[in-house]
């Protein structure tokens, strides 16, 4: 499916970290010790020769504080501003899912009217935002919703040369993974929040966060799929949105670019 739409594939994928939250590791991977752990909050930029596709949109300080629940956690204003500029410059915007740390930078942007016409959400993502948003601030007005492109697909959809959307409901109803096949032939799978740490994929162990309500059978199926891919597909790098250790490792190994261009 990645070769279905003709055209040159992207050359690289960049990551940026715009905030952190501090949660012990047992929340991300059931069974691991309650040792200190940094969860990165990230967005991705897929780079073509003639433009970029953004995956996830960052979030403003108010949404960040919601996640902090009264605890002041690191927020990198310059990086957040860089995400906003990258959204403005992008040819298209998609999101892994409809939680505030992934879509807040779109919904709450002062430039929403400019960003919306190049944003493609799934029907499930928009339905959640309209009917059961993670927080009331994420609910778009009907006028805002009407400006967005909304698509629906069953299992997977070719989105652009080298990019395929893969439906992955569970963490949220509108969760999807983004598969990328680069010009080099290297493959990446932006897995969003199906897991919160790559150890969850390696150990095939789900989250243990009581505030997250996820259908266990869907999560087990998706985690099991990622676990099998990780063992079998040596050309594929699975990218976990909130895994700070993996982010550093992938940048060091040249799998992800450090920051946006
Ligand atoms: Zn998240």
Q: For the chain, what is the domain count?
A: 1
Q: How far is the CA of 155 from the centre of ligand 1 (A)?
A: 22
Which residue range is the domain that position 180 belongs to?
A: 12-258
Give me the mean pLDDT over the 162-167 stretch: 98
Q: Dihedral (C-alpha) 153, 257, 88, 57: value to the nearest 10 degrees?
A: 50
Task: Indicate whether 144 pLDDT > 90.
Answer: yes
pLDDT grade for 154, boundaries at 50, 70 and 90: very high
Residue 3 resides in a domain: no
Domain assignment of residue 217, yes or no: yes
Residue-wise pLDDT for 53-94, tens only, equals 999 999 999 999 999 888 999 999 999 999 999 999 999 999
Close Cβ partners of 72 (under 8 Å, ≥ 6 residues apart): 65
The pLDDT assigned to 210 comes to 86
Q: Is 128 contained in some domain?
A: yes
Residue 53, domain member (yes or no): yes
Distance 242 CA to ligand 1 centre (A): 7
Question: Mean pLDDT throughout 187-213?
Answer: 95
- Considering the domain boundaries, does residue 1 fall inside one? no
So what's the pLDDT on residue 227? 98
CATH number, position 132 = 3.60.15.10
Cα(122)–Cα(108) distance, integer angstroms: 18
User: Is 5 inside any structural domain?
Assistant: no
**Is the pLDDT confidence value at 212 over 90?**
no
What spacing in Å lies between the alpha carbon of 6 and ligand 1's midpoint?
Answer: 32
Q: What is the largest CA-CA distance in the chain?
A: 49
How far away, in angstroms, is 173 Cα from ligand 1 center? 14
Domain assignment of residue 6, yes or no? no
Residue-wise pLDDT for 85-143, tens only, equals: 999 999 999 999 999 999 999 999 999 999 999 999 999 999 999 999 999 999 999 99
Within 13 Å of residue 74, how many CA atoms lie on the same side as its CB?
15
198 alpha carbon – ligand 1 mean position (Å): 14
Distance 182 CA to ligand 1 centre (A): 25
Buried b (16+ CB within 10 A) or exposed e, 44-75: bbbbbeeebbbbbbbbbeebbebbeeeeebeb
Q: How far is the CA of 40 from the centre of ligand 1 (A)?
A: 9
Q: Ligand 1: distance of its center to the CA of 107 in Å?
A: 15
Q: Where are the alpha helices (DSSP H) in the chain?
A: 25-28, 61-68, 77-89, 100-107, 112-115, 123-131, 142-147, 198-202, 216-232, 244-252
Residue 4 covered by a domain = no
What lies within 8 Å, CB to CB, of 20 at 6+ separation is 38, 39, 40, 41, 73, 74, 244
The Cα 25–Cα 77 span in angstroms is: 26
Please state which of the ranges 146-150, 213-217, 248-252 shows the lowest mean pLDDT: 213-217
């Amino acid at each position: 499916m990645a070769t279905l739409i003709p055209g040159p594939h992207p050359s690289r994928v960049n990551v940026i970290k715009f905030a952190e939250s501090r949660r012990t590791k047992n929340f991300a991977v059931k069974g691991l010790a309650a040792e200190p752990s940094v969860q990165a909050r990230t967005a991705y930029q897929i780079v073509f020769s003639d433009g970029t596709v953004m995956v996830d949109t960052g979030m403003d300080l108010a949404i960040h504080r919601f996640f902090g629940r009264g605890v002041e956690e690191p927020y990198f204003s310059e990086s957040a501003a860089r995400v906003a500029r990258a959204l403005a410059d992008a040819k298209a915007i998609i999101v892994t899912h409809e939680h505030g740390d992934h879509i807040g930078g779109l919904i709450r942007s002062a430039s929403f009217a400019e960003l919306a016409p190049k944003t493609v959400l799934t029907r499930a993502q928009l339905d959640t935002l309209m009917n059961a948003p993670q927080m009331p601030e994420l609910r778009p007005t009907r006028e805002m919703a009407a400006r967005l492109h909304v698509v629906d697909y069953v299992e997977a959809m070719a989105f652009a040369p080298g990019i395929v959307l893969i439906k992955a409901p569970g963490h949220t109803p509108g969760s999807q993974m983004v598969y990328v096949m680069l010009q080099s032939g290297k493959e990446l799978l932006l897995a969003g929040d199906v897991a919160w740490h790559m150890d969850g994929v390696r150990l095939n162990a789900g989250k243990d966060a009581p505030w997250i309500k996820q259908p266990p059978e869907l999560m087990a199926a998706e985690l099991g799929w990622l676990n099998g891919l990780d063992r079998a597909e040596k050309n594929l790098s699975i990218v976990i949105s909130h895994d700070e250790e993996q982010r550093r490792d992938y940048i060091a190994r040249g799998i992800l670019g450090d920051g946006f261009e």
